[in-house]
Chain A
Amino acid sequence: MVENDRWGLLLAHLILILGVAVVVFPVYVAIIASTHAPGTFLQGVMPLLPGSHAVENYRSVIFEGRSNAGAPPIGLMLWNSFVMAVLIAVGKIAVSLLSAFAIVYFRFPFRIFFFWVIFLTLMLPVEVRIVPTYQVVANLGMLNSYAGLTVPLIASATATFLFRQFFMTVPEEMLEAARVDGAGPWRFFKDILVPLSITNIAAMFVIMFIYGWNQYLWPLLVTTDDRYYTIVMGIQRMVTGADSEPLWHLVMATVVLAALPPILVILFMQRLFVKGLTETEK
């Protein structure tokens, strides 16, 4: 601190507390709303203190959902989201580790060409090629399956770049020593490179899990069968599906359930999360 100014510091705290309040506010409101009885919302503005129907509301969304409106229970959607997030995270990491290994530890024709092919994925997000990608997935018969939900999203330039960057910093002596001991490429990869990258893998996992969990457009396109709905896209069905005013207490309970897992991941693995986030952009 350059100078000691007490009022400035106080002002800074004040701004930050206000900022934190604004950031936390929407989720606070959602949690509060999810604890009230349906009637509460008919009387006008929603209350700001918790109600007494929390257990009831959550039990109802998890096990029943809006089955009367043809939607599956939230429990199944949560499971689908979880499967999708884990498969995408593991898949991206596996595929990227292998290709980074090839690019850094081998010299072969068309190496640069393959590097650019991988780089292309950055330039072609799903959002800009919605219809043709849908057609490809439909032609391959991958609609309404976990494969369709995950495989097309598994190619990852950012993860490949991160691992490439990291492999470049691994000392040359590691490879020399491994070769003296008679290790082949696969042995070196499995017993030396992967254990060395374990922190990076964990950081990547955190980022990619959140990425997978939060997918919206993709599951919207490839699932028409409600058994494969994920929670983030399922909410949209709850909000806009009915003509009447949405059942806010149930919608908000679903929102809380949908947002909680990735938030918990960030809160408990904050260090890995920050590492993953800042290093993928380098």
Chain B
Amino acid sequence: MQTKRMTFSSGWLPYLLLAPQVAITLVFFVWPASQALWQSMLRQDPFGLRTTFVWFRNFQRLFDDPHYLISLKTTAIFSLATTVLAMSLSLLFAVMVNRMIRSRDAYTTFLVWPYAVAPAIAGVLWWFIFNPSVGILPYMLRGLGIDWNHRLNGNDAMILVVVAAAWKQISYNFLFFLAGLQSIPQSLIEAAAIDGAGRFKRFWTIVFPLLSPTTFFLLVVNIVYAMFDTFGVIHATTEGGPAQATHILVYKVFRDGFVNNNLGSSAAQSVILMAIVIVLTVVQFRWIERRVNY
């Protein structure tokens, strides 16, 4: 990693400059993470009197626990659905906005602001719209003969949290897709048009492949978002219910740690989540390196 050709020389100043950041990182990031690692191998008896070292038994128990496996599956479905919904809608909007000339800025303004809405608030907004007794959508769905109740029906609850989570993420994806589209040289598209390729053909054979670095980057970002940042959506609305239908992993760590007081298991779950984040971060940064060398 390079520095400037010419640098200052001072024995202690750089350490002083780095001190605040490094201190916070060590105290609030590295230390708790190592604690999680340590606690994941301990087990406390129900009264908190005795702690025993149990090696990997907490992990073993976790993977034997049907609740955890269901939560894994729920998380996979939730992240995938959120990612696909948010990305496909924002790609559609970005392609359309990219065709506009005068109205581009106006549409962009209208599409970017949900970024500012906290996931928890996005959850509450859609929760209200989908509310079985006063919400608008269930009222309209009743007209179609569908009885909507996300308090009883697990699928309805899942749809609710997916819609809320995806709604908030559209603006982020939209901005990156739009930037990606604008960096595609117009000459390529014109050349294809001269060769007689129609709009759809041009999109699938030229635009979409050239956009793939952006798409891949957003795929990782969206999965990270859906897995970790959506805690608020779940906690403020369904609270993991009904019957654990929306009990995603992050929510389960929180529940097991704070409500059920099962520290060993919660720590083991934390360690698994850390492993997932680390893998995703590495994938994301590998991609960035590749793009730089392009």
Cβ contact within 8 Å between A120 and B32? no
Residue of A nearest to B172 (CB): A277
Q: Given contacts A96-B21, A155-B28, is CB(A267)–CB(B10) below 8 Å?
A: no
- Please classify how large the interface on chain B is, using the bins under 10, 10 to 19, 20 to 34, 35 or more: 35 or more
Most buried by A among B101, B126, B232, B257: B232
Cβ contact within 8 Å between B112 and A95? no
A interface SS class: helix
B69 CB–A CB distance under 8 Å:
no
B18 CB–A CB distance under 8 Å:
yes
B212 CB–A CB distance under 8 Å:
no
Residues of chain A lying within 8 A (CB to CB) of residue B22: 99, 114, 117-118
Cβ contact within 8 Å between B228 and A151? no
| A168 CA / B4 CA spacing, docked (Å) | 7
- Please classify how large the interface on chain A is, using the bins under 10, 10 to 19, 20 to 34, 35 or more: 35 or more
Cβ contact within 8 Å between B110 and A121? no
Interface residues of B in 203-243 (CB under 8 A from A): 217, 221, 228-229, 231-232, 235-237, 239
Picked from B10, B31, B107, B111, the residue with its CB within 8 Å of the CB of A136 is: B31
Picked from A3, A154, A184, the residue with its CB within 8 Å of the CB of B193 is: A3
Cβ contact within 8 Å between B3 and A19? no
| A129 CA / B116 CA spacing, docked (Å) | 25
Residues of chain A lying within 8 A (CB to CB) of residue B55: none
Cβ contact within 8 Å between B21 and A128? no
Residue of A nearest to B108 (CB): A270
| A108 CA / B228 CA spacing, docked (Å) | 36
| A259 CA / B255 CA spacing, docked (Å) | 27
- A106 CB to closest chain B CB (Å) equals 4
- A181 CB to closest chain B CB (Å) equals 14
Cβ contact within 8 Å between B20 and A131? no
Interface residues of A in 95-153 (CB under 8 A from B): 95-96, 98-99, 101-108, 111-112, 114-115, 117-118, 120-125, 127-137, 151-152
6 cross-chain pairs, A with B, having the tightest CB-CB distances, nearest first: A214-B118, A262-B116, A132-B32, A102-B17, A132-B35, A128-B273
Binding site for B on A (CB under 8 A): 1-3, 5, 8-9, 12-13, 15-16, 19-20, 22-27, 29-30, 33, 41, 44-46, 48, 94-96, 98-99, 101-108, 111-112, 114-115, 117-118, 120-125, 127-137, 151-152, 154-156, 160, 168, 172, 175-176, 179, 184-185, 188, 210, 213-217, 220-221, 232-233, 235-236, 239-240, 245, 248, 251-252, 255, 258-259, 262-263, 265-267, 270, 273-274, 277-278, 281-282
Besides A27-B117, A106-B13, A214-B118, 18 more A-B contacts (Cβ < 8 Å) are A2-B189, A8-B99, A19-B111, A23-B111, A23-B167, A25-B129, A45-B135, A45-B136, A99-B21, A122-B281, A124-B277, A131-B267, A216-B118, A220-B235, A233-B120, A245-B133, A259-B117, A263-B117
Binding site for A on B (CB under 8 A): 1-11, 13-15, 17-18, 20-22, 24-33, 35-36, 39, 89, 92-93, 96-97, 99-101, 103, 107-122, 124-129, 133-136, 139, 167, 170-172, 175-176, 179, 189-190, 193, 199, 217, 221, 228-229, 231-232, 235-237, 239, 250, 253-254, 257-258, 263, 266-267, 270, 273-274, 277-278, 281, 288
A to B CB contacts below 8 Å, 12 in the list: A15-B92, A29-B129, A99-B18, A105-B4, A124-B33, A124-B274, A127-B273, A129-B274, A168-B2, A214-B121, A216-B118, A251-B128
